[in-house]
Amino acid sequence: MSDTAIARLRDKILDGSPISTDDAALLYMSADDLTLSELSTQVRNRLHPANQSTYIVMAIVNYTNICVAKCDYCAFYRLPHQAGGYLLSFDEVCARIDDLVGYGGKLVSFNGGFHPKLKLTDYAELFSKIHHRYNDSLSFFEMTVAEFMFSCKLSKLSYEEGAQLLLAAGTRWVTGGGAEILDDAFRKRHSPGKYSVDDYFKAQRAILDAGMGSTATMVIGFDETLEERLNHLQRLRDFQESTDRRLTSFLCWTYKPWNNELGGGEISNREYLRWLAISRIYLHNFTHVRTSVLTKNEAALDGLNFGANDFDLPTEDEVTQKAGATISLEFAKILDAARRAGHEPILRNPFTPSPRFEV
């Protein structure tokens, strides 16, 4: 990239103006690491205190691995009647939650498969019992958008009806998980049975319009092209603008290539950090950008110098562990990595869903 092109983009970013998708491609292809770190930090520090980061201890409870979607990048699922499939009982789910409480955790994220027999009323009943048992002592991300879509279809409910049903059961969050790369060409190659991108955003909108919270996620490092990654960011940014900025955060993690059909390799830490920086700069309308300890371990904390301001300390997630992720419960060591990166880590409470119509 020429010095003039860098100077033009630097002015635009420091000005607070959104950069275009072409600008993002240019930056990603040509800017050096130091420039990406500096510019993403400038954007980050407009929204958050410099040299400080926040974190939360959380668990991803995988209540079932039975799934009919057959995504080729997934090491977690079992088809119905295949050996090794499971559906946790209420008591087993609670035991997992109690483990998290033992670690001082405050956030439980549920994530399972497209189970062909679980209607939305089954989920609502489970969530309602969980709320009753734990009251307000914990926060719950109760489904991913992808699971919500599947279960609505299975239950013959519109997304609006489904969202109302969950809301009545006390659900406050349905997160943006299951997004991977929001580009239809990517989805056709790897998960043709999952959803179309337009449909994904229809479901997200119904969730937000019902008054629940949601988030944005992305997974990189499959075989996606730069164009497909940029399409993902563009769709997210446009959607965020059209919903009065109600998606609370953006989290990007990395594909783990073991024990699945797709295989391949892992992207480098450097590539992850560079993409995090591009995401922070491009997604000017997102408040929180989160770095992934789940898939990058201590190296994720370098992300605090590439635009991220927040991270999880996960205690379990079978989906990524089956594909090769290693979870460390040595929290003190991980927090020291944040300090070494120059950011004092502050334990936070769970976010609250962004109110409707907040600008």
- Residues within the interface to ligand SF4 (CB under 6 A): 67, 69-71, 74, 76-77, 113-114, 146, 191, 194
Which residue type is seen at 313? L
Kindly state the greatest CA–CA separation across the chain: 62
* Beta strand segments in the chain, E: 52-61, 107-110, 139-141, 214-220, 247-254, 288-291, 310-314, 344-347
**In whole angstroms, how close is the CB of 68 to ligand SF4 at the nearest point?**
8
Parallel, antiparallel, or unpaired for β 107-110 and 139-141? Answer: parallel
* Alpha carbons 339 and 5: distance in angstroms, whole number: 34
**In whole angstroms, how close is the CB of 262 to ligand SF4 at the nearest point?**
11
Nearer to ligand SF4, 176 or 307 (CB): 176
**In whole angstroms, how close is the CB of 150 to ligand SF4 at the nearest point?**
8
* Alpha carbons 123 and 126: distance in angstroms, whole number: 5
Nearer to ligand SF4, 113 or 307 (CB): 113
Nearer to ligand SF4, 63 or 77 (CB): 77
Q: Spell out a b/e string for 119-144, using b for 16 or more CB atoms within 10 Å of the CB, else e.
A: bbeebbebbeebbeebeeebbbbbbb
The single residue listed with the structure tokens 């209540």 is 63
**In whole angstroms, how close is the CB of 67 to ligand SF4 at the nearest point?**
3
Number of Cβ within 10 Å of residue 17's Cβ equals: 12
Nearer to ligand SF4, 77 or 272 (CB): 77
Nearer to ligand SF4, 73 or 275 (CB): 73
* Alpha carbons 191 and 204: distance in angstroms, whole number: 19
Nearer to ligand SF4, 53 or 151 (CB): 151
Nearer to ligand SF4, 67 or 289 (CB): 67
Cα distances (Å, whole numbers) of residue 128 to 95, 166, 324: 17, 9, 33
CB contact set of 33 (below 8 Å; sequence gap of 6+):
270, 273, 274
**Structure tokens that stand for 97 in this block:** 């939650």
**In whole angstroms, how close is the CB of 192 to ligand SF4 at the nearest point?**
11
**In whole angstroms, how close is the CB of 74 to ligand SF4 at the nearest point?**
3
Which residue type is seen at 36? L
Helices (H), 31-158: 33-47, 90-102, 120-134, 145-154
**In whole angstroms, how close is the CB of 273 to ligand SF4 at the nearest point?**
25
**In whole angstroms, how close is the CB of 71 to ligand SF4 at the nearest point?**
3
Nearer to ligand SF4, 37 or 64 (CB): 64
